[in-house]
Structure 1
């Protein structure tokens, strides 16, 4: 407890509704009205310290979400590109007019491997 010389007496006017809420809260917590008011005032100062930290954490989370969305879009774009390449590979592998039988065989092996390892 603080020394009497470190305590300042003050008079505080409150709306009755606020007084009643403070009184109810103090009673529920088993505290005096004085202790309830002090505890609530101290909490507001704690919030002043914590709010910038919370804001920084929120900014970081928003950045992570933005990056995740960008990565997801890149993955979707890549899947679409791979679908296009797959169509080209299938066309070359099945086209009877393909002049290079080794290329055709290699592409058939790639298609077979892709089908076997499909997720």
Structure 2
């Protein structure tokens, strides 16, 4: 075993609720408590940490982008309708196309 692979024993204090959650996760995954803690801790170094707030922000941004795309499409339709109207000679009492109405 190399120095990098050497295991070190530590004493760890954590809240009882966290300990219970770790124990449940370890049981559910078929790992020991130590294995569960090591896996989760190692994961914080291997990959970027995305928490619930990050996912919530992503969802909000996606919703905003979708809304902007929808509004852009609607505005494009209205602009096209107005351009078409400008190409036609004006008639008295002419009704605006539905896309051009507010």
Sort the TM-score into its range (normalised by shorter chain).
0.5 to 0.7
1:79 to 72, 78, 81: 81
| 1:1-119 paired onto structure 2 within 5 Å | 3=1, 5=3, 6-48=6-48, 68=69, 71-72=72-73, 73-86=75-88, 88=89, 91=91
Q: Which moved more, 1:5-14 or 1:22-31?
A: 5-14
Alpha-carbon RMSD:
3.6
Q: Decide whether aligned partners of structure 1 residues 4 and 10 sit closer, same or farther in structure 2, where only a CA change above 3 A counts.
A: farther
Deviation at 1:46, TM superposition (A): 3.6
Structure with the larger helix share: 1
Q: Highest Rg: 1 or 2?
A: 1
Unaligned runs of 5+ in 2: 92-102
| Per-residue Cα deviation, 1:66-86 (whole angstroms, up to 9, x for no partner) | 884575233431222213323
* Bigger relative CO (Cα 8 Å, ≥ 6 apart): 2
Which stretches in structure 1 are left out of the alignment for 5+ residues? Answer: 92-119
Query: Normalised by the size of structure 1, how large is the TM-score?
Result: 0.48
